[in-house]
Amino acid sequence: MSTPVVASPTGFDLPTAQKRAILSMVCLGFGALFIGIINGLGQALNYASVDILQYFPGMRDYYQGLTVHGVVNAIVFTFAFANGFLALTTSRALARPLNATWLWVVFGLMVAGTLLAGYAMATGQASVLYTFYPPLMAHWSFYLGLALLVVSTWVTTALIFIALRSWRKENQGERIPLLAFISAATYLMWTVASVGIAISVVGLLLPWSLGLIESSDPLLSRTLFWYSGHPIVYFWLLPAYVSWYVMVPRHAGGTLFSDSLTRVVFVMFILLSIPTGFHHQYTDPGIGTGMKALHGALTFGVFFPSMVTAFTVLYALEIGGRRRGGTGLANWFLKLDWKNPALVAQVLAMLTFTLGGITGLINASYNLNQAIHNTAWVPGHFHMTVGSAVTMSFMGIAYWLIPYLTGRQLVGRGMAVLQSWIYFAGVLVMARGLISGGIDGMPRRTNMLEAAYSKPSWELAGMLTGLGGTLMFVGGMLFFAVFAATLFFGKKTDEPMDLPLTTTHHPPKTRGWEVKLDRFRYWLVAMLILIAVAYGPFLVQYLPAAFESPPYQFY
């Protein structure tokens, strides 16, 4: 039995004003990625002892470039794409428009936040890296810009849940369409998770940068950052999961295994994403070993829904491959539609994410983390997660999303497939260099051109990092060529378009425990209890904080 994942499977005509707002967000996000990839080339070549950052206009030092690379890729790009994409999926799933005016408000907040933070970074007044730990102090505009970017996600959350509430009033007793459920679950998790960074930025760092507070408490700020800093990984990842669950099966010609299992996966992310932050602070003093161990255990717990995702998505791909004539244990994989750029990009993203997830378990391990903490291993890991699984998935989504939003046909399908393979190869080569160097003690966040302690054994790792980063840059530029050509020169078509939506093999249940999965308030309460258990003991023993660290500024 095949069951649709949306309320109106026959189609829904998204209003033009809403399409324009969403397209603007998507373009803003990929514009940020363009800047980030250019800076990323400089970061990769730094490990190969090649300095191209000196030729970048306004670039004062290595750490300014590293800050730009991290912030525009991990915050601006991901926030803008998620705000637009999941607003679209919610609207389509419920077959009802969102408020176009408020969608433009979201876009305006993102533009304002990007310009404010961008000003501080471009003028060299915010070389505080993506994590912006005090006592490093940035210009006040940097913190205000970050705050506005977070607020843009809160407005999106409100839009999604207002639409969901209205739909439920009109459809009492019906299950929430699966696509709407997983979209709303993503924003519910992130809204609670973002409270930590909001308190840190608005309550501590912004007043500090304005001179209203004389000093800072680094441990408190680090804890608040990582309260949000690990679940933000899932805010990057879950929009890709939305596509992997609901759209990739359609591209592959398969079907989603189970509606209920998919909901369980996203509920697990709601519950387990946040109480994991201390595994980033294993080396921080002032936090009890018991609390660190608890967070480490919960981090291994949040690995489980990703394992379920792997088997679920592979099921859908196998069904598609066998329908195309594939046989045996693995031949079905070769029979997938390797000429479909949307599918190719996301399947390759899944392959790199497999390695990224495995290396993440090393980061989460209490003992093994000590060997790779603050080494090049760490960027090797997250370039196989956010740098590939997320980025390549968003690129793959763009190959059908831009035609859908603009009414233009995709330009350069062959080039789109080629860029995915080049980017994929680049990620693997660069990650190999970073991870091998990290095992040998090669540091992260370091200007290797000035590192007097560089070891000869790091040379090969650095060369691989530079080569892989160059391939990623080439693949990225090919993507932007396809993106821009489609956006401006793609052939107009009057054919009606819809999202590439799959169906589920096992439909949603209308009675029993599965129905309770739709009760978001249950999961919100359970999530808050877990957060209290995971962070309450530390806050009780640590507060009131000791604001004793004076600021340190690069400018």
Nearest CA to 159 among 110, 99, 105?
99
The pLDDT, as a whole number, for residue 509 is 78
pLDDT tens profile 366-398? 889 989 999 999 999 999 998 999 999 999 999
What percent of the chain is predicted at pLDDT more than 90?
82
- The answer to whether 131 and 171 are in contact (CB under 8 A) is no
Q: What is the mean pLDDT of residues 514-522?
A: 90
Q: What is the mean pLDDT of residues 527-547?
A: 94
The pLDDT, as a whole number, for residue 120 is 96
CATH of domain 15-542: 1.20.210.10
Establish how many alpha carbons lie within 13 A of residue 41's alpha carbon, considering only the half-sphere containing its beta carbon. 19
Residue 251 known to be catalytic = no
The pLDDT, as a whole number, for residue 346 is 97
User: Is 74 a residue whose pLDDT tops 80?
Assistant: yes
Catalytic-role residue among 143, 278, 382, 479: 382
Cis-peptide into 135, omega within 30 deg: yes
Residue 511 known to be catalytic = no
Residue 381 known to be catalytic = yes
Nearest CA to 63 among 449, 432, 359?
449
SS3 content of the chain, % helix, strand, coil (to 5): 70, 5, 25
pTM of the entire predicted model? 0.95
Residue 234 known to be catalytic = yes
The pLDDT, as a whole number, for residue 13 is 84
pLDDT averaged over every residue in the chain: 94
The pLDDT, as a whole number, for residue 145 is 98
The pLDDT, as a whole number, for residue 288 is 92
Q: Which residues contact 314 (CB under 8 A, 6 or more apart)?
A: none
Q: Three-state SS for 258?
A: strand
pLDDT tens profile 402-440? 999 999 999 999 999 999 999 999 999 999 999 999 999
Give Cα 423 distance to the centre of its chain: 17
The pLDDT, as a whole number, for residue 554 is 76
Catalytic-role residue among 381, 408, 432, 505: 381
- The answer to whether 21 and 100 are in contact (CB under 8 A) is yes
Catalytic-role residue among 63, 444, 473, 483: 444
- The answer to whether 401 and 447 are in contact (CB under 8 A) is no
Catalytic-role residue among 62, 234, 241, 479: 234
Tokens of 428: 């693997």
Residue 383 known to be catalytic = yes
CA angle 171, 176, 182 (to 5 degrees): 155
Establish how many alpha carbons lie within 13 A of residue 521's alpha carbon, considering only the half-sphere containing its beta carbon. 1
The pLDDT, as a whole number, for residue 443 is 93
Q: What is the mean pLDDT of residues 459-475?
A: 96
Residue 521 known to be catalytic = no
pLDDT tens profile 296-327? 999 999 999 999 999 999 999 999 999 999 88
Catalytic-role residue among 366, 445, 506, 542: 445
The pLDDT, as a whole number, for residue 1 is 58
Taking the domains of the chain in order of start, what are their residue ranges?
15-542
User: Is 457 a residue whose pLDDT tops 70?
Assistant: yes
The pLDDT, as a whole number, for residue 451 is 81
Residue 413 known to be catalytic = no
User: Is 156 a residue whose pLDDT tops 90?
Assistant: yes
- The answer to whether 501 and 249 are in contact (CB under 8 A) is no
Q: Which residues contact 524 (CB under 8 A, 6 or more apart)?
A: 188, 192, 270
Confidence grade of residue 23 (pLDDT, cut at 50, 70, 90): very high
The pLDDT, as a whole number, for residue 205 is 96
pLDDT tens profile 98-126? 999 999 999 999 999 999 999 999 999 99
Give the CA-trace dihedral at 468, 473, 475, 478, to 10 degrees.
-160
- The answer to whether 308 and 265 are in contact (CB under 8 A) is yes
